[in-house]
Homo-oligomer: A and B are copies of this chain.
């Protein structure tokens, strides 16, 4: 049987992946969830037809979410992850010895359950049930509206801004994030592709840049995502990552290193122009 799955990255662009086997397919209250065994990317989580993460390249996304933000903060102890149901970000965050407590709020409990069953390499931290990790199934937006001066680092590990992730790309949400952070806190969010989501990036950049003393965008190569160039937006109350002292990480990484940290904030001219277009 010749089985293929295509993600329509835009209405004019598709990525087709040869599939060996469907391991899970179901529908939660929020979305369609599938886990497939693919040829090029190994096992993959697919939500509403969008490729979310794969065993082939998940290390890039999760390392770049966790280690760039935690390396920027001088002493990250209290961490909040919004979303991140596959557990990969929690796994990387918990590798930092300074971290005392990680809260993770995922809206879709079925994503957590499915990832624990079918993607244990990624969800290892959820399975291990560490005393430092508290997983809540609930609405991250609602949680944020009640938190104040609590967190050192907030990581918004969301899916695309359609469906359950939509409210995580609004100024109201960033205002709540600001309030939930301690005086030297910072947050980071995955913010899609500078090639294909320029309007979204321009809008959210304006919001983050308006609210936070330091706003920075950084990039990583992620082959599973449209265009291969993925952006992350950081809002920081105090530390500028361009001037941060870097602590050597006491563990091995597959993508992140000091050179990558120093270079990931370098933006091609067309991305710089995207960010400054409406702030002039």
Contacts and interface: CB of A to CB of B under 8 A. Distances in A.
Interface of A: 4, 6, 10-18, 38-40, 57, 60, 195, 219, 221-223, 226-229, 252-257, 259-260, 262-264, 266-270, 272
B266 A254 contact: no
Contact of A269 (B13, B14, B255, B266): B255
A222 B193 CA distance: 12
A18 B9 CA distance: 12
B263 A266 contact: yes
Contacts of A57: 195
Nearest to A194: B221
Contacts of A39: 12-13
B16 A13 contact: yes
B219 A227 contact: no
B18 A16 contact: no
A136 B159 CA distance: 51
A60 to B, nearest CB: 7
6 contacts: A12-B40, A13-B16, A14-B14, A254-B269, A257-B269, A259-B266
Contacts of A12: 17-18, 38-40
